[in-house]
Amino acid sequence: MAEQKESFIKRLVNKAVKFYEYCTTGVWSDTRSSLKVNIIKTLSITIRSFLNTDIQTQACAMTYRTLLAIVPALALLFAIGRGFGLQNFLQDELYNMFPSQKDAIRHALAFVDSYLNQASEGIFVGIGLLFLLYTVINLMSNVEDAFNLIWNVRQGRSFWRKITDYTAMLLILPVLMICGGGLAVFVSNTLQSIFHFGFMTPVIKALCELGYFLFTCLFFGAAFMMIPNTKVKFKNAMMAGLFTGVGFSVLQWLFVSGQLYVAKYNAIYGTFSFLPLMLIWLQFVWVIFMSGALICYASQNIFQFTFSNQIQSIAPCYKDKVTLAIATVIVQHFVKRMSPVTDLDIIAAYGIPSRLVTSVIDNLTDAGVVSRVIIDEKRQIIGYQPAVEPSLITIDYLRTKLNSIGYRDFIPKFGENFPGVVQAMEQIDSALASSPADTPLSSLKITTLNK
């Protein structure tokens, strides 16, 4: 009996080890597109990205920046809330969020009212509004930088696009948040006026909380779609918004419940206890928010991590072949007077992993072999074409330009210490510069990419 039990535990442990190895490494060689495989890949990418991108440090930085912009942000929120007649509702929500810090909130709201009054009188009409928008837009710019880092986007919005896009976000996102609470109040009052039965009150309350939760998820989903400077699919953004909404609701419940037991904490810090509690809350909110961005990125870019272990340990000679192949596709596409090829075209036509395509194209762009072309600015579609005359791009030209990337000859007396090595490499370079290295990429035989 003991041997059977030991054998069962051993088999269970072996299965657990195999499942762990599959989730961490083996799943990326699995080309199936089933729901189970995609969920494992999404969770694996999210956890790996969470550890590699150091979300905790970024959340701390965003907490500090939020603290600087919190008064202008609240002022903007209350200015929009006044337009909807929901100023009192917003105050009640803050009181419910921080039930043990009503005195501190009352002082903070008084400061916000003073800010709005000063910004609407005399010379402050223009200066106050500009400072308010600058402070909030600067915070939005920092959020975009953090999201672009998660999405591996190298170029952010231009100055004018920041003004237009951020203004739209500042009008849309707060309205979603306000509508969530406003709808709950409206539905609650309407249903209670229609149904006078006492047993309906819990049902109405549950429906209102569900509506508020759905608007919260919609708020996060809209943020995941609008903030990164790249195209984010609706279904991926909404799925991440759902997970983020759940995490945010759990945090709210824990924070509100925990504040009921901070009386001793208040006895030490007094009204100042509001500040450290708010900082803790802000940091957790940013961790949840940026974790949701990771989920959104992972769910949309599962295919980019196919064969990730092989790409990470790819042989230099094989990467050279892939680089030559991708450069040839771009050159021949241009020679045949077709529209600029995109990275997705290459991935779909030739089955080359997305991360490898992106890495190779970035190297070709940095080397000045190809250049980016905006195909559709609204949909943020970018294509690639040769940066010089296609007939000039030979195998040797490509190799020379790629070798020009990065620093060289920075080790003191390297040539004096290794003269034989330097001479051997010069001979190799001379041999590679001869035929067929002078063959233009436009004459190499490849399968035509059909669009």
Rounded-to-integer distance, Cα 134 and Cα 20, Å = 48
How high is the pLDDT of residue 386? Answer: 92
SS3 content of the chain, % helix, strand, coil (to 5): 75, 5, 20
Rounded-to-integer distance, Cα 311 and Cα 334, Å = 28
**Can you tell me whether residue 167 is helix, strand or coil?**
helix
How high is the pLDDT of residue 118? Answer: 63
CA-angle at 26, arms to 342 and 224, nearest 5°? 50
How high is the pLDDT of residue 424? Answer: 82
pLDDT tens per residue, the chain (451 residues)?
555 656 767 777 777 777 777 777 776 666 666 777 777 777 777 777 777 667 778 888 888 888 777 777 777 677 766 666 667 767 776 676 655 556 666 766 777 777 666 655 544 455 656 666 777 778 888 888 888 888 877 777 777 777 777 777 766 766 666 555 555 555 555 555 655 555 556 666 666 677 778 878 888 998 898 888 888 888 889 989 999 999 988 887 777 676 555 555 555 555 566 677 778 888 888 999 988 888 888 888 776 666 666 677 788 888 888 899 999 999 998 988 888 888 888 887 887 877 788 889 988 999 899 998 888 766 667 889 999 898 888 888 888 888 888 777 778 888 788 888 878 877 776 766 655 557 788 888 887 666 5
Give the pTM.
0.65
CA-angle at 121, arms to 118 and 124, nearest 5°? 65
How high is the pLDDT of residue 242? Answer: 92
Residue 279's φ and ψ, nearest 5 degrees, are: -65, -40
Rounded-to-integer distance, Cα 345 and Cα 351, Å = 10
Q: Is the dihedral of CA 69, 72, 78, 80 positive or negative?
A: negative
How high is the pLDDT of residue 364? Answer: 92
**Can you tell me whether residue 434 is helix, strand or coil?**
coil
**205 token code pair:** 């309350």
How high is the pLDDT of residue 180? Answer: 57
Token pair 């600087």 is at which residue? 68
Distance of CA 72 to the CA centre of its chain: 25
Half-sphere exposure of residue 365, counting CA atoms within 13 Å on the CB side? 15
How high is the pLDDT of residue 123? Answer: 47
Rounded-to-integer distance, Cα 64 and Cα 187, Å = 37
- Give which of 376, 328, 387, 323 is closest to 352, Cα–Cα: 323
